[in-house]
Amino acid sequence: MQTQSGTLRRLINGSLSVTGFYFLAYIALGLVGASLGPTLPELASQTGTQLDQISLLFTARSLGYLLGAFGGGRLYDRLPAHPLMAVALVFMAAGMTVVPLVPLLGVLAFTLLLIGLGQGMLDVGGNTLLVWIHGKRVGPLMNGLHFFFGVGAFLAPIVVAQMVVITGGTAAAYWLIALLIILLALWLLRLPGPRPPAHTSRAAPPSLDHRLVWLIVLFFVLYVGAEVGFGGWIFSYALESGVMRESIAAYITSAFWAAFAFSRLLSIPAAVRLRPATILFLNLFGALGSLAFFLIWPESRLALWVGALGFGMSIAAIFPTMLSLAAKWVPLTGRITGYFFLGANLGGMSLPWLIGQFFEGVGPQSMIWILLIDLLLAALLLGAMLEIKSKQQR
């Protein structure tokens, strides 16, 4: 009996240590994801390009993210999980080391593609493996995982701003983040990885609603496009609209991610008390209301702060909540999770690029209108999915 109790205790402690590592890895993922926006002007200067051209970096990174998530989703069902995740971390660290050294836009875009490849493999792995470890109890932990992404994203602009003050450039910020990622990769190889559930080795069950799967994919296209688009362009928006100086604009990005992280922290107990659909609708309409501040008071610094904080608070819980809801609707194998991240990265690839095409020609306000239309479509899509589920349950 004591032997069985000791074995159970070791299993629980092992699960907690692995889950804790995933949380730390998501801080690194947030640092990498949010470091691009505040460094865009310097990268444009480094490559001798304009903002509409440098927006190609978002597309390249998201294309790599797409390949990493889609391919990684299948690989996690077949290969040892943690060595695969360590490879993803190495891709990210190598790319972050090279970024400040590249003077050509094409080579820099390829470097961002490799970073995105690692990000996609890490992201799909973290979400899938967390479900494998905790099963139906994953809801609050999924929100916790994405809270730590928000922590990293909040810290990234601060790290960039401080490195600029200390060193006069952004290169040191990239290298500091790369060092952290390498240390995580070395630690990960010492941790035992979870095994896939039994159903991942079999064909998808007959009850799988493929229509619902693809609607969820499309929802992730719209949501992640809004998150990456706002987080990546709010720094340039604050500068080009003339509302803020460069020394302060970096902190509006950090404020957005701080609100984002804090909201994901709040979403952990909210996931226990509220229905996922309720959380999703509240967040979507909160984000739409936050964008209204930019349209009604376009020259107000206060409105910019309120809108950025409100947008970060509102959209933060959407991704983990939809992923937890999807886990109830469909079997969350690595392959299906890969499809969801395929959609997420199509959004992260296309919407920031679209914003970049209108940003200088039409003006910074075009960013707000694009985000507004995007989130209205997401709300309509969520309503359609809930209607499908309602008809299935009748």
Q: Taking residues 154-169, what's their average pLDDT?
A: 87
Model confidence, pTM: 0.70
Whole-number Å distance between alpha carbons of 191 and 62: 29
**One-character DSSP codes across 315-329:** HTTHHHHHHHHHHHH
203 pLDDT more than 50: no
pLDDT for 57-113, tens place per residue?
888 887 888 888 878 877 887 888 889 999 999 999 999 999 999 999 999 999 999
**Nearest Cα to Cα of residue 319 among 263, 242, 240:** 263
pLDDT value of position 218: 94
pLDDT value of position 208: 65
Using 50, 70 and 90 to split pLDDT, how confident is the model at 205? very low
15 pLDDT more than 70: no
Q: Taking residues 276-291, what's their average pLDDT?
A: 92
Exposure of 275 by Cβ count < 10 A (0-12 exposed, 13-18 middle, 19+ buried)? exposed
Q: Is 246 left (phi over 0), alpha (psi -120 to 50) or beta?
A: alpha
pLDDT value of position 350: 84
**Nearest Cα to Cα of residue 384 among 285, 281, 288:** 281
pLDDT value of position 7: 37
pLDDT for 308-321, tens place per residue?
999 999 998 898 88
Whole-number Å distance between alpha carbons of 319 and 327: 12
Using 50, 70 and 90 to split pLDDT, how confident is the model at 6? very low
Exposure of 290 by Cβ count < 10 A (0-12 exposed, 13-18 middle, 19+ buried)? buried
- The C-alpha angle 336, 349, 380, rounded to 5 degrees, equals 65
Domain ranges of the chain: 2-392
> Which residues does 165 contact at the CB level (< 8 Å), separation at least 6?
none
Higher-confidence residue of 116 and 13: namely 116
Whole-number Å distance between alpha carbons of 127 and 142: 7
Architecture field, domain 2-392: Up-down Bundle (1.20)
> Which residues does 120 contact at the CB level (< 8 Å), separation at least 6?
64, 65, 66, 67, 68, 69, 70, 72, 88, 341, 345
pLDDT value of position 5: 42
Using 50, 70 and 90 to split pLDDT, how confident is the model at 169? confident
